[in-house]
Every structure is written in structure tokens, then in C-alpha cells.
Structure 1
Amino acid sequence: MTKLAVIYYSATGHGTAMAKIIAGAAEQAGAEVRVRHIAETRDPESFAQNPAWSANYDATKDLPAATGDDIVWADAVIFGTPTRFGSPAAQFRTFIDSLGGLWAQGKLADKVYAAFTSSQTAHGGQETTLLALYITLMHFGGILVPPGYTDPLKFADGNPYGVSHITGPNNQNPIADETAAALEHLARRVVTIAGRLGPADPA
């Protein structure tokens, strides 16, 4: 059974919703799944005036937070981060930057990786965020499995690098049907390719 870790940072809850869709599809595809959020590094008082951010923080703060061990455990990892000025969010980068010891031991290599993101506006740095993340995964020695246009539904969501969601200026947009379908496709594709490659060697 393929082991998939879905590791994400979410401020206003869209990443949390996207991670749940991926996890459900991966489980249906036969994977053992761990969903782990990346812990908030900001003081909650600093976003107290943002109801969506506060609500997502309250809903996830007591759930298991991601650690490097979750990546070591997995055969495949799907990362999620909102875009911040065309790059992954600082909270996400803080987690990635904590993995140096595991990287030095080779424990992040030879795993399947893919990613999803979100932004308030159309485009809004979504593609550059995914590409910036993938550069890091190349340093890991990871095996990148983007969705490409491997299913006709990708012509609806339009992102061959991963999956992206437009949250809207007030973070009001729910996950659209075509985005949910693209997330499910990404999950199935990652599980399928990881299964063909076989279990990752934890080194």
C-alpha cells in the first residue's frame, strides 16, 4: 500500500479544504494517508481581525502538526501552500528549512512529490509558487509528478504544474468543482505513479 503524506500550510482554510479533498481521493485510490498541517508561526493576535484566518487557526491548532518524520514515513508527498508574492508562504518555508538534517541523510530523496496552492487573484503568482517549491524538491532528489494535461479535466483548471485555487479578494470563494476534480486527479496520479515505483527507501 502506497503511503501518502499531505503536508500543507493554510491561513484562511482554503488549503485545509484542498488537503481534505486530496486525502479522500488518495484513500479511495488505495493509499494510506497522513494529513498534517504546518503549524502557524504568527502570533494569533496579529490576525485576530481576519475571521477566516482565526477560524482556521482554531480548527487546526490542536491537530497533529507536520514534522520531517512524516516525509520519511511516506512514499509520496503532496505539499500545499498559499502564494505570497509569487513564492511559498513564510510559514511553509520555515518548515522546509527545518529539514536540513534529513536532507543531509538522504531521507527526503527518491519519493514522489507534487503540490497545490491558492491565491486571492487569478494567477496571482500561483505557477511561480509551485515552480519555486519544485526547485526545492529537486534539491531533495525528489521525483516530481505534476499533473500536466494527463486528463481532459486539466483543460478546465488550466494548471499543468499542480492544482491552484482562487480564493477571491475576501477569501470568500469555495473550492470550485473543476478545482476539486483536479485535486482528486492529482491525488490519484501521485498514488498511481508512487505505486509503480514501489516503496521509498528510508535510507
Structure 2
Amino acid sequence: MAKVLVLYYSSYGHIEQMANAVAQGAREAHAEAVVKRVPELVPPDVAQRAGYKLDQAAPVAAVDELPGYDAIIIGTPTRFGTMASQMKNFLDQAGGLWAKDALVGKVGSVFTSTATQHGGQEATILTTHVVLLHLGMVVVGLPYSFKGQLRMDQITGGSPYGASTMADDGHGGDRQPLAADLEGARFQGSHVARIAAALAGHARDGGPAQ
């Protein structure tokens, strides 16, 4: 059984919903899936005034626990085409793990949320991939075997790089993840879990662990 960490940051709850769907998909593929979030950097009074969702149930992760998982699936909203500073701050603390090759050969994957359809979904995922590659991880996306990303009947997230959703309804209002977006997230979780299980099994059978 693969052990999967869904590691996310969410200001308003959109990525939180996607993270839970990713974990559901991983569990459907018979993985042990754990959902955790990175620490908030915004002062509590500022976050409260900005309407941040502060009642998130997921516990806060520690950098040192990352090597204990076969796969790490990162969820982050976009900040001008790159990951949120909260996620970057967390990953920037992984230098000790990098020095020890502690994450080499682990599976890494990314999903995201943007305000709009063209708000940096693909760029955010791809720039996060760069960090995973520096850590020596095996990067996995959302393949076209998930046919939901080919649909044209509604505006949905999703690309071959990873699942995604949009948070703005086009009129300045809040848009929650669509069923199609959550379906993509579940598919990605399941896909990553199966690959992680296969790699872990190969290592146990005597194949190269790294």
C-alpha cells in the first residue's frame, strides 16, 4: 500500500476542497492518504479581515516528515503564475532533505486554483514542478486518460500537468470547484497512488530505490 501525502495551502477553501478530492482518489486506489496543510504566514487579524477560511480541519505538516511518504501531491493557489508564498516558504525549508537525497525517487504531483480561466493554472503547476525536480522526485501529471479535460460544454479546470479549478464566477463573486474539477482531482489522486505503489513495489522486489 502506497503512503500518499496531500500537502496544500488554501486561503479561501477552494484548494482545501480539491485536496480532499485528491485524497479520496488516492484512497480509492487503495493508498493510505493523509491530508495536511502548510503553515499560514499572514497575521491572524489580517487573514480574518481578508475573509480567509481559518477553520480548516487538516493538521499542519512538518518538513521533516516528507520522506515518510511514497508520494507527495501539492496543492497551491496561484500567485502571478507561481505557487503561493506559504507553500514556497515551506518547501524552501527542505534544503536538508535535498542534501541527503531524502526525496529522490518519490512521486510528486501538483494541482492548483486560479481566479480565472487564464489566471496562470498551467504556469503555476509547471513552476512548482521545477522544485520537485530539484528534489529528485518523479513528476506525475493528469493524463488524457482522464477524458474530463477534453470536454467543451462548460469551463472547467484541468490540464495534462494537473487538476485545477477557478475561484471567480466572472462577476466578482465566489465560484466553488465544479463536480468536473473535483473529478479531475480524484483521478489525479488515484493515478499518483497507483504509480507510487508500483514504484514502491519495484524497490521492495530488489529494483533500484533511487
TM surpasses 0.5: yes
Matched with 2:200 is 198
**Which of 168, 174, 178 is residue 176 of structure 2 equivalent to?**
174
Residue identity (%): 35
**Which of 113, 132, 137 is residue 118 of structure 1 equivalent to?**
113
* Structure 1 residue 23: Cα displacement: 1.0
CA deviations on 1:86-128 (whole Å, 9 max, x unpaired) are 1100011000101100111111110111110001111201111
* Structure 1 residue 142: Cα displacement: 0.6
TM-score by length of 2: 0.88
* Structure 1 residue 64: Cα displacement: 2.1
Residues 1:144 and 1:116: Cα distance change in structure 2 (over 3 Å): same
TM-score by length of 1: 0.91
Matched with 2:128 is 133
Consecutive aligned runs of 4 or more in structure 1 exceeding 2 Å deviation: 47-51, 199-203
* Structure 1 residue 4: Cα displacement: 0.3
Note the residue ranges of structure 2 that are not aligned, 5 or more in a row.
152-156
Match for 1:120: what amino acid?
A
Matched with 2:12 is 12
Distance 1:123 1:150 in 2: 23
Q: Contact 1:148 / 1:154 at 8 angstroms: preserved in 2?
A: no
Determine if the alignment matches structure 1 residue 104 to structure 2 residue 99. yes
Match for 1:197: what amino acid?
L
Distance 1:151 1:132 in 2: 22
Q: Within 5 Å, which residues of 2 pair with 1:41-52?
A: 41-51=41-51
Match for 1:166: what amino acid?
M
* Structure 1 residue 45: Cα displacement: 1.4
Distance 2:56 2:146 in 1: 34
* Structure 1 residue 50: Cα displacement: 2.6
- Mean alpha-carbon deviation: is it higher for 150-159 or for 138-147? 150-159
Residues 1:191 and 1:85: Cα distance change in structure 2 (over 3 Å): same
CA deviations on 1:9-42 (whole Å, 9 max, x unpaired) are 1111111111111111211210011111111011
Q: How many residue pairs get matched? A: 198
Q: Within 5 Å, which residues of 2 pair with 1:137-176?
A: 137-156=132-151, 157-168=157-168, 170=172, 172-176=174-178
User: What value does the CA root-mean-square deviation take over the aligned residues?
Assistant: 1.9
Q: Contact 1:76 / 1:113 at 8 angstroms: preserved in 2?
A: yes
Match for 1:58: what amino acid?
D
CA deviations on 1:24-75 (whole Å, 9 max, x unpaired) are 1211210011111111011021132233x1xx22334xx4211123321100
What SS does the aligned partner of 2:147 have?
Answer: coil
